Amino acid sequence: MALADIVARIRAAERAAGRVEGAVRLIAVSKLQPADRVQAVLTAGHRLFGENYVQEAGEKWPAWRDRFPGVELHMIGPLQTNKAKVAVDLFQAIHTLDRPSLAQKLASLGQARGALPQLFVQVNTGAEPQKAGVLPGDLAAFLRDCRTMDLSPVGLMCIPPEDQDSQPHFAMLARMAADQGLAGLSMGMSGDFETAIAQGATHVRVGSAIFGARRQTRA
Ligand SMILES: *Cc1c(COP(=O)(O)O)cnc(C)c1O
């Protein structure tokens, strides 16, 4: 199946980049995919999935979690502050910490619950006006503010501009993570995950290359 092909390509890209085997985690992005395709990937043994919408994830995953022990869910879509409480209960990682108001909300949830999902800060490497993410020039101050609030992001995430070569964006993200002492790098999708691995990705987010084309909107 496509999952096995993608896993093989990830292992080959790790080898080509001189990375340790298994250094890169595959997040299978299951948003807007039919249930039978997701179940096939679960049945094949894969356990790490990414979702973009809190409500969709909350509807789909509790039942699968009961059937397939060990599922790990990562939030990779924009997170509204008023959905943060549901999100921290549903997800083991949030890749889209992108603004001070969300950091404040997560910090107060963390104080109330004693623990939070792993956090990645989304960086708008292309400085695109319509795209979420902290601007590169604001990252150091944002991370300082996070740490003041007792948040400890583990890495950075980016979505390069669609019309550009991803490679310089991945290289920029890797440089910023190194400068900030962050080990996690969430970058690379179906079309460019091998490029991301060459630049140091620790998490690649692959959807359509595993599952096929998805519906364009939520049902
Ligand atoms: C949908 C999505 C993906 C997966 O995209 P594909 O091109 O289907 O691999 C990865 N990351 C984010 C943030 C997404 O929204």
Interval 71-98: pLDDT, tens: 999 999 999 999 999 999 999 999 999 9
User: Would 61 be classed as within a structural domain?
Assistant: yes
Residue whose C-alpha is closest to residue 215's, from 9, 33, 12, 1: 33
Ligand 1 atom closest to the Cα of residue 159 is: 13
Pocket test of ligand 1: the residue of 26, 76, 210 to mutate, having most ligand atoms within 8 Å of its CB, is 76
Domain contains 218: no
Reported confidence tier of residue 216, pLDDT bands at 50, 70, 90 = confident
In a domain, 165, yes or no: yes
Q: Answer whether residue 216 is part of any domain.
A: no
10 in a structural domain:
yes
Query: Residues near 146 by Cβ (< 8 Å), separated by ≥ 6?
Result: 97, 103, 119, 121, 152, 153
At 165-176, the pLDDT tens digits run: 999 999 999 999
Q: Which protein residues touch ligand 1 with a CB less than 6 Å away?
A: 29, 31, 52, 76-77, 159, 189-190, 205-209
Is residue 152 a part of any domain in this protein? yes
- Give Rg (Cα) of the chain: 17
Domain span holding position 7? 2-211
Counted domains in the chain: 1
Mean pLDDT of 124-129: 98
What spacing in Å lies between the alpha carbon of 205 and ligand 1's midpoint? 6
Predicted local distance difference test score (pLDDT) of residue 219: 55
